[in-house]
Chain A
Amino acid sequence: MKRNNNLPLTETVFYILLSLLEPAHGYLILQKIELLSNGDVKMAAGTLYGALENLVKLKFIESVKSNDPRRKVYVITDYGKDILRLELERISHLKMITEESIKGGLV
Chain B
Amino acid sequence: MIIKKKRRFLDFDLDKEEAWLNELSFQGLDLLHVGFRYHFKESDSKEVSQIKIDYQIFNNKEDFLNYETLFSDSGWSLISGGHHGGRQYFKRIDENAGTEIFSDTSSKALRLKRLSDSLLSFAMMYLPIAVTLSMTTD
Contact = CB atoms under 8 A, between A and B. Distances in A.
Interface of A: 12, 25-27, 30, 42-51, 69-72
Contact of A71 (B69, B76, B100): B69
Contact of A49 (B52, B62, B65, B70): B70
Given A30-B74, A69-B65, A46 B98 contact: no
Nearest to A70: B69
B24 interface: no
Contacts of A27: 69-70, 73-74
Main secondary structure of the interface of A (DSSP, over half): helix
A21 to B, nearest CB: 20
Contacts of A42: 98, 103
Interface of B, helix, strand, loop or mixed by DSSP: helix
B107 A26 contact: no
B36 interface: no
Interface of B: 52, 54, 56, 62, 65-71, 73-74, 76, 98, 100-104, 107-108, 110-111
A25 B70 CA distance: 8
B100 to A, nearest CB: 5
13 contacts: A26-B70, A27-B70, A27-B74, A43-B103, A44-B98, A45-B71, A45-B76, A45-B101, A47-B102, A47-B104, A47-B107, A72-B62, A72-B66
Given A26-B70, A70-B65, 7 more contacts: A42-B103, A45-B73, A45-B76, A46-B107, A48-B70, A49-B56, A71-B66
